[in-house]
Amino acid sequence: MTAIITYQGDLRTEMVHIQSNNTIHTDAPKDNHGKGEAFSPTDLVAAALGSCMLSIMGIYARQHDINIDGTRVEILKGMAANPRRISKIEAVIKMPQDKIYTEKQRKALEHAALTCPVSKSLHADLVQDIQFVW
């Protein structure tokens, strides 16, 4: 089992990760009858993409003795209607400006990010607009 999710009422859930016992709350967004006081489930999908990209880049970096500490991803999620769904995720991956990366390292880190498991699990109709700032 990965998680236990409990509906707490008022469009809020609590998710408990079984292995770590970490807890995440979700709330429906304001534009969909909620209070917007926590990540929405679709926010988590977009954030998961960013987190996955950084994690896979981190694995590559560790294996090749490259320091990417401080790398950030800024995520913007776009929604569509009929049916309501995530239509686009924009991600800007900002590499630390105090570090120098070779062209080979840049290409490998970009490839790692673009082939992360979350990216490959999202529907092909969902636009993934990924930019890197070196």
- The number of beta carbons lying within 10 Å of the beta carbon of residue 122 is 16
Q: Three-state DSSP class for 68?
A: coil
Reported as a single tens digit per residue, the pLDDT across 23-76 is: 999 999 999 999 999 999 999 999 999 999 999 999 999 999 999 999 999 999
Tokens for 113?
């990010």
> Hey, where are the domains in the chain?
1-39, 40-133
What does pLDDT average to over the chain?
97
User: Which of 91, 96, 95 is closest to 119 using CA atoms?
Assistant: 91
pLDDT at 133: 98
Stretch 93-99: mean pLDDT? 97
- The number of beta carbons lying within 10 Å of the beta carbon of residue 66 is 16
Facing residues of 23 across strands? 16
User: Which of 129, 130, 45 is closest to 85 using CA atoms?
Assistant: 45
pLDDT cut 90: percent of the chain above it: 99
pLDDT band (50, 70, 90) for residue 108: very high
pLDDT at 40: 97
Domain 40-133 belongs to what architecture?
A: 2-Layer Sandwich (3.30)
